[in-house]
Amino acid sequence: HWVDVQMAPPDKILGLSELYVKDPNPKKVNLGVGAYRDEEGKPWILPSVKEAERKLVVEGLEKDKEYVPILGSGPYNSAVQKFIFGHDEFGKKLIAEKRIVSAQTISGTGSLRVIAELLNKFYSVKKCYMSAPTWPNHLNVFRDAGVEPAAYPYYDLDTNSLDIENLLATLNKAEKGALILLHSSCHNPTGLDATSEQWDQILEVITKRELFPIVDMAYQGFATGDPIKDLGIVIHKMTKMHYENPEKLPSFALCQSFAKNMGLYGERTGSVFLVHESPEFISKITSQLKALVRPMYSSPPCHGSKIVEVILNDEKLYKSWLGDVAKITNRLNEVRSGLYDNLDHSLRNWDHLKRQKGMFSYTGLSKDEMLKLRSDFSIYGTDDGRFSLAGISNRNVKYVAEAVNAVVKK
């Protein structure tokens, strides 16, 4: 029989959408969930994705709806591996030497969960350092996989800048051999990324404390407008370090998602990669990943991965997709500037908004101020002061900025 089932707390981000839907105010604005909306506030199917789907259906590229293998479609896995690692001198060598495990997963969340489960089974230290703050679900995913979440300082709310000193100090004292979760770019929720020099410092401590890096890449493309350029810092630095000095960085993982940069949210399409110097180890890990996934969900879904496969393998479509990513990034940046321009700079300094990248503005507004935005203006952002910029457009940017001004004034 059931025992003592209590209400679970609502998800901090998805719970907001429920409140938003119930709000009768015609002026309401949803700045909660990080999902792209166009200028009209509507979800956007990328034209490149529509064209790929047309090819699948009309040109018959989709031959069947058969189950894909446990670790996903082979052609998808090679295409994505090449797309992520193949633009890099060392990445190319890693591919050629079969030093990367690649598996299709249930989007980025599934990727994180699978790697966390794998590490829990086969890695000595079951503790993962995460930025404070981080995407709240990171904590849930690792905790539920039996890995204890720990924090490293990241954002200094007083100066709205990276708290690099305390970050390095904490990592310098981190438990040797522990796991560390890194956001590749467009840090969620702060939008603030480390500079190239800061990444070097972070990687230095990682090698010193023998930490195992797990890179989460959910917004690839939105920092620079170009998915390949966005790989820059982390991937290039890490593949180089690993290839040239495997004793310094023997292994690392990358969790990747096409939810945002292809707009494939509900198609649940992403990948997990694990880099290691020994091809024999790669074979063993691959077999263990299969053993892990089979009893969880047997195999990943097939429609999204077919779309990705078509786009990455068709030169014209690939170019058109790059254009779509640039378009999303441009609109987000326009909204960011529009918000900045309409805020009252005599009330508070908003310059940090200009330094942020990706889908979010981490405003620095307090929980009380966010609650006031919700109750007085029907503007729904998360309690931590995060705005999902996709919810803003020319139609409501003034309304949002003026509401912020009003809330800050009191």
Residues labelled catalytic? 135, 216, 260
Binding mask 61-100 for ligand PLP (x = CB under 6 A): ----------------------------------------
Amino acid type, 82: K
Check: CB of residue 229 under 8 Å from CB of residue 219: no
Q: Least CB distance from residue 255 to ligand PLP, whole Å? A: 7
Q: Least CB distance from residue 383 to ligand TYF, whole Å? A: 13
Q: Which is nearer to ligand PLP, 272 or 403 (by Cβ)?
A: 272
Q: Kindly report the number of other CB atoms within 10 A of residue 87's CB atom.
A: 16
Q: Which of 81, 102, 109, 305 binds ligand PLP (CB under 6 A)?
A: 109
Q: Which is nearer to ligand PLP, 390 or 404 (by Cβ)?
A: 390
218 binds, among ligand TYF, ligand PLP, none (CB under 5 to 8 A by kind): ligand PLP
The contacts of residue 62 (CB under 8 Å, 6+ apart) are: 56, 306
Per the structure block, which two tokens stand in for 41? 């506030």
Q: Least CB distance from residue 2 to ligand PLP, whole Å? A: 30
Burial class, 116, CB count within 10 angstroms (exposed 0-12 / middle 13-18 / buried 19+): buried
Q: Least CB distance from residue 138 to ligand PLP, whole Å? A: 7
Q: Least CB distance from residue 193 to ligand TYF, whole Å? A: 16
> Is there binding between residue 135 and ligand PLP (CB under 6 A)?
yes
Q: Is 175 left (phi over 0), alpha (psi -120 to 50) or beta?
A: beta
Q: Rounded to a whole number, what is the largest CA-CA distance in the chain?
A: 63
Q: Least CB distance from residue 196 to ligand TYF, whole Å? A: 26
Report the alpha-carbon angle 223-383-399, nearest 5.
75
CA-nearest of 279, 209, 275, 280 to 242 is 275
- Residue whose CB is nearest to ligand PLP in the complex, by number: 108
Dihedral in degrees, nearest 10, Cα atoms 334, 335, 341, 344: -170
For ligand TYF, the binding residues (CB under 6 A) are 13-14, 33-34, 109, 135, 137, 188
> Is there binding between residue 190 and ligand PLP (CB under 6 A)?
no
Q: Kindly report the number of other CB atoms within 10 A of residue 167's CB atom.
A: 23
Considering only residues 209 through 228, tell me which ones interact with ligand PLP, judged by CB under 6 A: 216, 218
29-30 and 161-162 strand pairing: unpaired
270 binds, among ligand TYF, ligand PLP, none (CB under 5 to 8 A by kind): ligand PLP
> Is there binding between residue 257 and ligand PLP (CB under 6 A)?
yes
Binding span for ligand PLP by CB under 6 A among 172-180, 257-265, 310-318, 375-383 = 257-265
DSSP 3-state assignment of 102? strand
Contacts to ligand PLP by CB under 6 A = 34, 107-109, 135, 183, 188, 216, 218, 257, 259, 265, 270
